[in-house]
Amino acid sequence: MANLTPKAFVALHLAGASQLWADVPEAMPAAVERLDRLVARTLDEDSGELVATHRADTIAVFDSPDEAIAWACRLQRELLQCDWSPRLLEHPLAAESRDDDDRLVFRGLRLGLGVELGTPVRRLHWRDGQVQLVGEVVDRACDYAQRAAAGGIVAGAEAVHALEEGAALDLEIDELAADVGPPLYAITARELSWRRQQSALQATSRRTNLPSYRTRFFGRAAELAVIARLADEGASWVSLIGTAGIGKTRLAVEFARRSLQDRTDGGREAWFCDLSEAAGVADALYVIARVMEVQLPLSDEIEVLADRLESSVAGRGDVLLLIDNAEDLIDELAPVLEGWLEESEGLLLVVTSRRRAGHRLETAVELDSLGRDAARILLEDRLATPRGVQVRFGAQDRPALQEIVERCGELPLAIELVAASGRRLTPRQLLRAWQEDEADTPMSRLQQAIARTFEMIQPFEQHALLQCSIFAGGFTVESAADVVDLSSFDDAPAVSDVLETLHNHSLLRSRAGRDSAEETRLSMYEPVRGFATALLDAEAAEEARGRHAAHFVRWSKKAVAGLEGAAETDWIGRLTEELPNLIAAYEHSLECDPDSAVRLVIVLGELDKRVGPLGGQKERADQAVVLAEEVADDALLAEALVVRGQTCMWIHKYDGAADDFARAQELVRESGDASVLTRALLGRTFAVGHRGHYREGLEYAKQAYDVARGSGTLDEIAALAWCGVMLGSLERDDEGVRRFSEALVLARQLGNPSMLARVLSSLGTAIGGDQPAEGRRYLNEALEIFRTQGNRRRATVALFELARVAGWEGDHRREERYYDEALVEGASIGVSQYEALLLHGRARSRFMRGQYTRAEDDLISALAKVQNQAYLDLSVWIWSYLGACYAALDRLAEAEKFFARAEEAIEDTDAAKLAVVLEVLRGFQVAANARKLYGADDFEAAEAELERAYACCEYPGQEGVPHVNEAHAIARALREALDMQVEQGLVPPHVAPTRRVLQLGPDARWFAIDRGEHVDISRRGALRKILAALVDRRFDAPGEPMSVDDVMAAGWPDEVLTPSSGARRVYSTINRMRDLGLDEVLQTVDDGYMIDPAVTPVRSKHHD
């Protein structure tokens, strides 16, 4: 865990990797192997090494930035000379390109490289125990690599500045504007200087979930050109309109992929959202939110959900949002999309639908059939591809191929289905089979193709396809094996074999699972699903849904066990992927199996706790309690109450949560379920703690620990951690840290990622004030885990705590940056109290820097988001800081109102720490009183108030006062504010504990040291002028001395003196000033004279 010395990191990002693997999979393994060999060889020769980090990127490390950048430039050069395969070089992302002077710019794989200098931290990975280098320097290097253009190098300021001190390299270095923080630099070796235009900074890393296809894209060149032209001309909403199976989805995805490759001014994020199974607009918004990794509030109000997504989209810059299968919802969805477009300048919507929306912002592109030639080429490719050899169809095949595509209506999906059913037939055999079996009833071309394929498969395969239509979203082979029933067919093979056949016939489509390329997920094309659903009779459908629900009840039990172990992150991914199926199983169980419905809600509660809020979870939790009461199962009811209580906690309904936890506690005492009892007690701890009743909370936490002690489970760790939280809130910090440390040992032994991260986060906060470096390390490790799991609520809290640690260190700029990042991270959570917490934190940072008006704005916004004072702890913080802001702005009546409200609230709590903070913040009100009295010439009262204000600075360090990091930080800010007001003459001259004061009367007629007697210098003209000039210089240019010539000009402005004569006069006058009592105030430096920086000069407006 020890810190290392500073290192130069180089991160590698392979541009267009996903597209290359999708388009030229046969060429990529050899290309990547060649790249790996090149990297290994050059690193060995240039004294670098590959290192393991917490990032998935390839990362090399060097002892100096000179070595790192020299290697990066060499790597870019040698990539041009590699022996890439001809197949790879045919692809646009790897093709050879030259500039106007025929100089080689690109050839083969293209890398973006990021270079940064900094000190990493060595630590053991929480899952596999591997030694890793982690820290902000690694994250920055990876970010720069992704932001660099293909073939470019982007370096951070620290690396470039250090480079200036190292060996000279023949480089072109261009500064790049950054949104926040220090600038970044694009670096190009001078011998490749013509690449400089291609090495511009990418504004954001490219993020996408676009589906990849195993087959090639054909045709549609004209349509692609039209869409690109519309986008370039400023169209913000392009709808691709056409019948089912005409290729809308594939065309939209192809455009999005090309946009990611080619556009430098947009399309940096591209998201694919399939609405085919959305039951309404709310469902559609939840689909879009899941895809874009936005967490929506617990609400059924469309406006609330839409606004949350709108704020997230608006903050992302250039986004291409592909909404597929929108025809059933487009009328209701159109106003929502309009709102997003009006607030998001960088948003481009590409919508696929069977009909227009008719909206003023919509530009529709009508799709016709593929076209005879393109359709024929597509059919030839699909017939040839699976055969494993290159097949060329001759002139004798052309008439049959042409008639097949005509019968398919030149529709791509119909062609895909027909080709899948005829891969063992010649074109003429395929046509003959179709002619013989063609139905007499009128059907659409696509329906004919689906029906034709359906008729060609075996009866048991048909039966399996119909049953697959009841899955929601998609399914695994394992799930299908448990749900699809083929027992009525004696000759039916294993379900997995049947699914493979259906996939080969293009009746099912596939993609790799979330966690493993081997765990294939299957789904149905929407026209195929509609076809299958229509054929599945009601009785068979009901039986299949029953098996579906029973399967996911059993599967969810395994999932809950997985969530409690070291593989938790994998299980979170699986649960998220199966969320539509879990909800479908719950809805089916509501009427026929209430016990199962409750158990599914409990499982969803575990997912909600980790990556929520899940849409509709509060309503499901309410229903689960009702159902559990009906089945009269106390143990089940207790679990349902705990789930509902946890859901209420996340939306800060503490009273309702406390009631549920208390009721669950009473029920479970009878059943003896230790785990449910522990969670009920910890829920009560949470609820009362947020109301400021820490002693009561500590008692519940201790009871929970007594129940779970020795179990080695998540419950025991959670109980220890909550004991630590309550002890820290009760000023028993050392005891709290000990509990956190005990919890950390157990958490690392158990290996559960989210519990480990929760303990790390709590411990990092607890020690952050006294050991900021260690606190940051724990918090950053927690943040990494939360982000890996997609737990934005916890990630936001970790960022909040990192900001607090920075504030305690006095680094308020970094503190505000953390708050800004947390506000972006938490914008999608949808719980107003979270935003209130973060706004309050940023206001605190601004307050500490004297930005009282900006702090007030944040605090007012935060106060509006704290609903019904449910979060009393946070409300008190906001009221206290608002009081201090208004005091600093001389709005004393408003200040007193908020201070009084905070004091009244604290009286009913155990929040002694809050009381300490409030006492120090009151110092700003006392200082405001001093300013007011001094302005009214009530000098004696003003001095007394100023003495009280300075005493507030000393309060946190007094004996018997609890140690509160926040209070010490506020005391520092108060002292700085008071010293500044003394300097500005806004309050009486005062001997601050750490500074001396030089008080200067009007027109410099007198001076006094530390409130001592006035020294009259009204008749010493030159001396008076020089002293006034020295004080002016101190105010105008602190730390800058006055030269002898400056002093001469100030003391004798109208006289012409020789240099030697002037110097003698200056020397004599300065000595006289020292004799009058200014000896310890004046400083003589090489360049002249100045007021000692440790002395505070004050201009008095009073003559005596």
pLDDT tens digits along 310-341: 877 876 778 899 999 998 899 999 999 999 99
More confident position, 122 or 981 = 981
Q: Is residue 769 over pLDDT 80?
A: yes
**Residue type (1 letter), 515:** D
Q: Identify the pLDDT of residue 620.
A: 93
Neighbours of 36 (CB within 10 A): 12
Question: What's the rounded mean pLDDT across residues 514-537?
Answer: 75
Residue bearing tokens 């992927």: 577
196 contact partners, CB below 8 Å, separation of at least 6: 172, 174, 186, 188
- H or E element in which residue 48 lies: none
User: pLDDT category, 424, cuts 50, 70, 90?
Assistant: low
- Whether the CB-CB separation of 204 and 157 falls below 8 Å is answered with no
How far is it, in rounded angstroms, from Cα 653 to Cα 172?
58
Q: Which of 58-62, 545-549, 664-668, 690-694 has the highest mean pLDDT?
A: 545-549
Measured in whole angstroms, the distance separating CA 860 from the mean position of its chain's CA atoms is 25
- Torsion on CA atoms 572, 575, 576, 579, rounded to nearest 10: -160
Q: What is the pTM of this model?
A: 0.60
Q: Phi and psi at residue 1068, in whole multiples of 5°?
A: -65, -45
User: How confident is the model over 922-939, as pLDDT tens digits?
Assistant: 999 999 999 999 888 888
User: How confident is the model over 782-813, as pLDDT tens digits?
Assistant: 998 988 888 888 888 899 899 989 888 878 77
Measured in whole angstroms, the distance separating CA 304 from the mean position of its chain's CA atoms is 21
More confident position, 350 or 92 = 350
Q: What is the bridge-based pairing of β-strands 509-512 and 520-523?
A: antiparallel
User: How confident is the model over 66-93, as pLDDT tens digits?
Assistant: 889 889 988 988 998 898 998 899 888 8
More confident position, 51 or 949 = 949
Q: Identify the pLDDT of residue 551.
A: 96
939 contact partners, CB below 8 Å, separation of at least 6: 933, 988, 1102
Question: What's the rounded mean pLDDT across residues 391-399?
Answer: 74
Q: Identify the pLDDT of residue 629.
A: 92
How far is it, in rounded angstroms, from Cα 122 to Cα 589?
50
More confident position, 632 or 911 = 632
Q: Identify the pLDDT of residue 995.
A: 60
**Least confident segment among 178-182, 255-259, 505-509:** 178-182
User: pLDDT category, 206, cuts 50, 70, 90?
Assistant: very low
Question: What's the rounded mean pLDDT across residues 611-631?
Answer: 88
Q: Phi and psi at residue 241, in whole multiples of 5°?
A: -110, 130
More confident position, 584 or 308 = 584
Residue bearing tokens 């008439």: 399
- Three-class secondary structure of residue 53 per DSSP: strand
User: How confident is the model over 719-740, as pLDDT tens digits?
Assistant: 999 999 999 888 788 899 999 9
How far is it, in rounded angstroms, from Cα 1030 to Cα 1032?
5
Neighbours of 497 (CB within 10 A): 11
Count H helices and E strands in the chain, helices first. 45, 26
Q: For each of the domains in the chain, give its residue range(s) and CATH number, in order of start.
A: 7-199 (3.30.70.1230), 207-366 (3.40.50.300), 372-456 (no CATH), 459-536 (1.10.10.10), 910-988 (no CATH), 996-1099 (1.10.10.10)
Question: What's the rounded mean pLDDT across residues 747-771?
Answer: 91
Question: What's the rounded mean pLDDT across residues 520-536?
Answer: 85
How far is it, in rounded angstroms, from Cα 717 to Cα 739?
9
Query: And the tokens for 186?
Result: 């694009």
Q: Is residue 1033 over pLDDT 80?
A: yes
Q: Identify the pLDDT of residue 532.
A: 93
Q: Phi and psi at residue 448, in whole multiples of 5°?
A: -60, -45
User: pLDDT category, 126, cuts 50, 70, 90?
Assistant: very low
Question: What's the rounded mean pLDDT across residues 868-897?
Answer: 84
Residue bearing tokens 């001592």: 1012
DSSP 8-state secondary structure symbol assigned to residue 1043: P
- Three-class secondary structure of residue 351 per DSSP: strand
User: pLDDT category, 911, cuts 50, 70, 90?
Assistant: low
Strand order in the sheet with 520-523: 475-476, 520-523, 509-512
Reference 175, options 184, 162, 164, 188; nearest CA is 184
Residue-by-residue DSSP string for 454-515: HHHS-HHHHHHHHHHTT-SS-EEHHHHHHH---TT-TT---HHHHHHHHHHTTSSEEEE-SS
* Rounded CA Rg of the chain: 36
Question: What's the rounded mean pLDDT across residues 876-905?
Answer: 91
Residue bearing tokens 């089945």: 631
User: pLDDT category, 385, cuts 50, 70, 90?
Assistant: low
User: How confident is the model over 559-588, as pLDDT tens digits?
Assistant: 999 999 999 988 998 898 899 999 999 999
User: pLDDT category, 145, cuts 50, 70, 90?
Assistant: confident
DSSP 8-state secondary structure symbol assigned to residue 936: T
- Three-class secondary structure of residue 239 per DSSP: strand
Q: How far apart are the first and last CA of the chain?
A: 63
Q: Identify the pLDDT of residue 557.
A: 92
Mean pLDDT of the chain: 82
More confident position, 1009 or 446 = 1009
More confident position, 673 or 1037 = 673
User: How confident is the model over 35-57, as pLDDT tens digits?
Assistant: 988 998 999 888 888 886 645 46
Q: Identify the pLDDT of residue 709.
A: 93
Q: Is residue 201 over pLDDT 70?
A: no
Residue-by-residue DSSP string for 705-739: HHHHTTS-SHHHHHHHHHHHHHHHHTT-HHHHHHH
Q: Where are the alpha helices (DSSP H) in 359-439?
A: 372-384, 398-407, 412-421, 427-437
- H or E element in which residue 184 lies: strand 184-189
Query: And the tokens for 1087?
Result: 């360049």
How far is it, in rounded angstroms, from Cα 875 to Cα 905?
9
Residue bearing tokens 């000692």: 1092
Percent of the residues in the chain that have a pLDDT greater than 70, as a whole number = 86
SS3 for 280-325 is: CHHHHHHHHHHHCCCCCCCCCCHHHHHHHHHHHHHCCCCEEEEEEC
- Whether the CB-CB separation of 106 and 187 falls below 8 Å is answered with no
Residue-by-residue DSSP string for 411-430: -HHHHHHHHHHTTTS-HHHH
Q: Is residue 442 over pLDDT 60?
A: no
Q: Identify the pLDDT of residue 758.
A: 94
- Three-class secondary structure of residue 843 per DSSP: helix
Task: Check whether the bond before 1002 is cis (ω within 30° of 0).
Answer: no
Q: Is residue 247 over pLDDT 90?
A: no
User: pLDDT category, 205, cuts 50, 70, 90?
Assistant: very low
Q: Identify the pLDDT of residue 199.
A: 40
Which residues share a beta bridge with 112? 13
Query: And the tokens for 702?
Result: 């201790």
User: pLDDT category, 471, cuts 50, 70, 90?
Assistant: very high
Q: Identify the pLDDT of residue 267.
A: 45
